[in-house]
Amino acid sequence: MITKELLEQANKGLEAIPVKGKNYVMVNKRVEAFRAMCPDGTITTDIISNEGGVVVMKATVTDETGKVLSTGLSYEKEGNSSINKTSYIENCETSAVGRALGFLGIGIDGSLASAEEVANAILQQSEEKQKNNFIDKMKVDIIRADIEKGLINEADLLKYYKISRLEDMTEKQFSKYAEQKQKREAQK
């Protein structure tokens, strides 16, 4: 039997990650907590509908006697995010399970963020970065390595692209830089 004390104890051990100002516990960690509290309990999922690239799924959490402890619904549309281009059904199932376990009280801290909400928040963060269109750390490191090898002068590069630091370089500028680098290497 899942008690308030068991829930509090399980939740203390769950690590939450911050996403858009909300704490979110990954679904796999919620499942682990449920299994620890109720080893003979079950989590089942059912597709309520799957038509026209839209799936609705229900997850049901039961205890060892078969008593329903909680349910969760999720809706996903095929192709509406990079995850859903190939895995919208799996994503929907995970979201439904996460919501059902959240409604049971596992892995929530003041709000009940679904996997879909987290995925959308991450996508929005990515879109914001793309909107600003700055290069990522890996590309900055590539340029820094070229500078260390003496292939390019940092001051000249910053002046050429009219930026004050490498992190301010846009994707478009980096593409131009990579193109020029490739031409220089081909001439050698």
Answer with the one of 132, 156, 175 that is the final residue of a domain.
132
Residues 44, 109 within the same domain: yes
Taking only the tens place, the pLDDT of each residue in 135-154 is 888 899 999 999 999 989 99
pLDDT at 3 over 70: yes
User: According to the model, what pLDDT value does residue 117 have?
Assistant: 58
The confidence band for 67, taking pLDDT boundaries of 50, 70 and 90, is very high
pLDDT at 40 over 90: yes
CA–CA distance, 32 with 41 (Å, rounded to integer): 12
Residues 94, 128 within the same domain: yes
What is the overall mean pLDDT for the chain?
Answer: 85
Residues 77, 145 within the same domain: no
- Widest CA span of the chain, in angstroms? 74
pLDDT at 72 over 90: yes
Give the domain range for residue 165.
Answer: 137-187
Residues 71, 150 within the same domain: no
Residues 31, 78 within the same domain: yes
Residue type, 188: K
Residues 20, 68 within the same domain: yes
What percent of the chain is modeled with pLDDT above 70? 86
Provide the β-strand partners of residue 23. 18
Residue of 104 and 110 predicted with greater confidence: 104
Q: Is the pTM of this model over 0.85?
A: no
